[in-house]
Amino acid sequence: MNEEIKFYRNAKKTRNLLLYAGAISALLAIMLLYGIGTFDGVFKIKLSIVSGAILLIMLVLTFKVLAGIKDKSPLIQIDSNGFSGRTTPVAKAFGRIEWQDVTDLQLTKVGGDTLVAITIDNKAKYEGHVSKFLWKMAYDEQNSKLNIMYSASEIEINAEELFNLFLRYWKK
């Protein structure tokens, strides 16, 4: 098991994600138009602000995915010494993680996606790798461990297969 495994972007899954994001953005745009009074002439400030802010975030994320769609580098790399991934912002920021630092692996359902959650014990080794914002997202203060999640939503395999692959390499 010394070979390196690389997972690349699955064009079909990425296209489906972009279609869902486009549909949600269209609904948010309609809500924004309704909120500013385009249909009934009544300005609804809370609806306008909320739908406008969420629409802006969705559009920025969608354009980031569109800009990175030409990137042919692997989204997840796994070998006998460690792994790295770019499927979530926190995983991308942390970079390469060694198997010796991993204490637990789990499948976690977040929203409509199932993620592989990896718990890391050696926080001092990874502390300088990320911004304070991403550190707060990954660091669990109760048990002093880092939780980093990897998504299979854009790669060739599903979350359960990715979890089993991580588990096999970790156990070795």
Residues 83 and 137 in one domain: yes
Residue 83 inside a domain? The answer is yes
Rounded-to-integer distance, Cα 98 and Cα 140, Å: 19
Residues 58 and 94 in one domain: no
pLDDT at residue 167, rounded to an integer = 92
Percent above pLDDT 70 for the chain: 99
pLDDT at residue 78, rounded to an integer = 93
Q: Which residues constitute the domain of residue 80?
A: 76-171
Give the closest residue to 27 by CA, choosing from 49, 54, 60, 66.
54
- Output the pTM of the full model: 0.75
pLDDT at residue 125, rounded to an integer = 86
Residue 57 inside a domain? The answer is yes
User: What domain count does the chain have?
Assistant: 2
Task: Let me know: does 161 contact 152? Beta carbons within 8 Å.
Answer: yes
* Domain containing residue 111: CATH number: 2.30.29
Residue 3 inside a domain? The answer is no
pLDDT at residue 55, rounded to an integer = 97
Q: Residue for token digits 């502390």?
A: 127
pLDDT at residue 32, rounded to an integer = 96
Residues 86 and 152 in one domain: yes
Select from 25, 50, 68 the last residue of a domain.
Answer: 68
Residue 165 inside a domain? The answer is yes
Per-residue pLDDT reduced to its tens digit, 3-49 = 889 998 888 888 888 999 999 999 999 999 999 999 999 999 999 99
Residues 37 and 61 in one domain: yes
Residues 86 and 167 in one domain: yes
- Count CA atoms closer than 13 A to 167's CA, side-chain side: 11
Residues 166 and 134 in one domain: yes
Q: Which residues of the chain have pLDDT under 70?
A: 1-2
